[in-house]
Amino acid sequence: MRDALGVGVAVGLSGFAFGVTSVGSGLTVPQTCALSLLVFTGASQFALVGALAAGGNPLTAAAGAFFLGVRNAFYGLRLSQLLALPRAVRPFAAQWVIDETTAVALAQPTRRAARIGFAVTGLALYVLWNLTTLLGGIGAEAIGDTGAWGLDAAGPAVFLALLAPMLKSGVERSVAGLAVVLGLGLLPVLPAGVPVLVAALAAPAVLWAQGRRGARDEKGVDR
């Protein structure tokens, strides 16, 4: 289970960047720590504080973070079958259903190994993510203006570093590319936080285009 522990440690340390970004966006250290303790999904947390930092409406920022977090519900459906945890444990395990724990659990050859991988990754990540969030928040509060130090770019940089290895197929890269075009293109004309919501339409748009292309190919074969 060294791989599971390694994933937990490597990703958990990036909580420092979230702490810096969150406090730099105007949240207090306790509010920042509460987000990591209760939300515990990095993509949604970065999206929320990023929208707030840009002056976005809190409801719009929360909506963007929510849509990013919806994928965890689908992970949960798959993991519930794989792990088959006792009913009493499931509400607590649900807090750890994120990208990294799902990837580690699915990579294991047996149910027992999947449970251990899920638990080790989740525990290491949760402890380190929250600890480094606290350290990052305290550090950002101490130095003052994070923008003057260039630390306001830490959050987006970490988010991109986590996302890039996941883009393995052509469809995934197309979705990511279209989302970037929509998000950046609409940034000057829409209120902060709204471009993120519009960028979420990239996935259904690409899948629709793929379906149309597949249908045309099938017609060509039939002829």
Question: How far are the Cα atoms of 82, 170, 182, 198, 200 from residue 205, in angstroms, in the given order?
Answer: 31, 14, 12, 11, 9
What pLDDT was estimated at residue 111? 93
Of 44-53, 76-85, 86-95, 98-107, minimum mean pLDDT range: 44-53
Q: What is the structure's pLDDT at 110?
A: 93
CA-closest candidate to residue 80, choices 94, 66, 92, 69: 94
Distance, CA of 134 to CA of 128 (rounded, Å): 10
When comparing pLDDT for 4 and 126, which is higher? 126
* Residue 73: pLDDT over 60: yes
**Distance, CA of 28 to CA of 37 (rounded, Å):** 14
Q: Which of 193, 207, 212, 185 is nearest to 49 (CA)?
A: 193
Q: What pLDDT digit, counting tens, does each position of 13-32 carry?
A: 778 888 888 888 889 999 99
- Please classify residue 184 by burial: count the beta carbons closer than 10 Å to its beta carbon, then call 0-12 exposed, 13-18 middle and 19+ buried: exposed
Of residues 203 and 37, more confidence is placed in 37
- Highest mean predicted confidence (pLDDT) among 45-49, 57-61, 141-145, 151-155: 45-49
Compute the distance between CA of residue 159 and CA of residue 65 in angstroms, rounded to an integer: 13
Kindly calculate the radius of gyration of the chain based on its CA atoms and give it in whole angstroms.
19
Q: Where are the alpha helices (DSSP H) in 107-201?
A: 111-143, 154-163, 170-186, 194-199
List pLDDT tens digits, range 172-204. 788 888 888 887 787 778 776 677 678 777 878
Round to whole Å and give the CA distance between 100 and 42: 11
pLDDT-above-70 percentage for the chain: 79
Residue 220 has pLDDT above 80, yes or no: no
Number of C-beta neighbours around residue 191 at 10 A = 13
Yes or no: say if 158 and 186 are a contact pair by the CB < 8 Å rule: no
Q: How far apart are CA 59 and CA 107, in angstroms?
A: 37
Instruction: Say how far apart CA 76 and CA 115 lie, in whole Å.
Output: 13
Mean pLDDT, to the nearest integer, of 36-61? 83
pLDDT of residue 35: 93
What average pLDDT is seen over the chain?
A: 80
Q: How far apart are CA 18 and CA 36, in angstroms?
A: 9
Name the token pair of 88.
């009493």
